[in-house]
A and B are shown apart, each in its own frame.
Chain A
Amino acid sequence: MSGGHDLGGLSGLGPIAPEPESSEPVFHAEWEKRVFALTMASGSLRRWNLDESRHARERQHPADYLRNSYYENWLAGLETLLVEKELLSVKELATGASQGEVSDSGAVPLQAKDVPQILSRGGPVDMVIEDAPCFTPGDRVRVCSQDPRAHTRAPVYVRGRIGFIKEHHGAHVFADKHARGQREGRHLYSVAFSSSELWTSSENGSAEFKVMVDLWEPYLERA
């Protein structure tokens, strides 16, 4: 789905105004730390995966997504998932008062002692699949122009555009299905686009450049 999160190529969003690297804190407020950690700890209950988590943030109204700070978007996504996965009720969220144990939860909260191991193990998404890859480096491909109206990782700015397969990363869990709770592997490629294919010259104004985008095979057709 397109939405407030799919920002590549938008204009009018203002200067970047980076804080100096030497003085920027990791978190800018105590509540940001807690939202970060609550999201990570709740995620470890394994009621949802990373793509469902991304999709929960993306489903906000675009105006809210853009107006919110980063961790406000995390908080909004977390609240959505806690309710949808029936770990909290809407009433509990609104009142802050527990209505009792989670029924049939079997939920085991993340323990402090297990954090280092869980973080260092990570969550690899490469898979072995039977299908051979359809494309090889150098192939000319076009990105599907349709908006799937659900979670996808093909950004709007490359849809319908022609690029070249630069690299085959092997098969990775396909994000679009993963956001619906299905773990299926699809071949993943780094696809190179020239700036003149993506933008009119008045937009980039100066010299050519290349943009590499990781795209799964179902997004691509031979061109």
Chain B
Amino acid sequence: MSDNDHSHDHDHDHTEPPGELELKVKALESLLVEKGLVDPAALDVLIETYEHKVGPRNGAQVVARAWAQPEFKEWLLRDGAAAIASLGFTGRQGEHLRVVENTTTVHNLVVCTLCSCYPWPVLGLPPVWYKSAPYRSRAVSDPRGVLAEFGTTLDHDTEIRVWDSTSEMRYLVLPQRPQGTQDWTQAQLATLVSRNAMIGVEKAQQPDDGMTA
């Protein structure tokens, strides 16, 4: 492999794996099925669950409710796991959920520098960039630079708090509610809550960002 090929490896977006890998995984699956260790139907259900059922729309519902109901917000910040479980979002990688609130003076950002810990029941599986070496390395050393790469700028005196998910605690950011949404329903509010806002790399969308309420 030439040096050029090598450096290319670090930049590619992993969308075109070699056929060799495809074959290797198929062979492993066949072997595990043949040995009675894995049932292919269960694999399909696992994939279907995280591809189509569990995802950031769950988290957006949590945030919208917290924006709309002060008592729910208070519960959410005090006991995130219980408040979120009350909406039916429980389970794997969400056993110990902690919600951190963005305010006019504090901005929170979540990372896992050691692997890819992420609150699955409310956000689904993490995006490629969250699991990538550039994000994991710099979120804790240059958060303002990281935010800038997402087009997010903060006031100079905003306190940034970075949460490194090194245990089984999982962190969800409660973004600030946008101005001009006083009369919005929870369903409308949820449309303003992106996945990236709940990781903390962006703010919630503004009502005039071209979203339809």
Question: Considering the complex, which residues of chain A in the window 40-59 have a beta carbon less than 8 Å from any beta carbon of chain B?
Answer: 40-42, 45, 54, 57
B167 on the interface (CB 8 Å rule)?
yes
Interface mask (B106-117 → A, CB under 8 Å = 1, otherwise 0): 000000011110
- The CA of A5 and the CA of B195, in the complex, are separated in Å by 24
B142 on the interface (CB 8 Å rule)?
yes
A6 on the interface (CB 8 Å rule)?
yes
Q: Which residues of A contact B146 (CB under 8 A)?
A: 16
In the complex, the answer to whether B159 meets A36 with C-beta atoms within 8 Å is no
Residue total for B at the interface (Cβ-Cβ under 8 A): 86
In the complex, the answer to whether B21 meets A214 with C-beta atoms within 8 Å is no
Question: Considering the complex, which residues of chain B in the window 110-138 have a beta carbon less than 8 Å from any beta carbon of chain A?
Answer: 113-116, 124-125, 127-129, 131-138
In the complex, the answer to whether A26 meets B125 with C-beta atoms within 8 Å is yes
Interface, chain B (partner A; CB < 8 A): 9-11, 13-17, 21-22, 24-32, 34-39, 41-47, 49-51, 55, 90-96, 113-116, 124-125, 127-129, 131-138, 140-146, 149-150, 156-157, 159-169, 194-196, 201
- The CA of A29 and the CA of B24, in the complex, are separated in Å by 14
- The CA of A169 and the CA of B21, in the complex, are separated in Å by 41
- Nearest-neighbour CB distance to chain A for B202, whole angstroms, equals 9
- The CA of A110 and the CA of B42, in the complex, are separated in Å by 6
Q: Which residues of B contact A78 (CB under 8 A)?
A: 28
- Nearest-neighbour CB distance to chain B for A14, whole angstroms, equals 5
In the complex, the answer to whether A7 meets B113 with C-beta atoms within 8 Å is yes
- Nearest-neighbour CB distance to chain A for B10, whole angstroms, equals 7
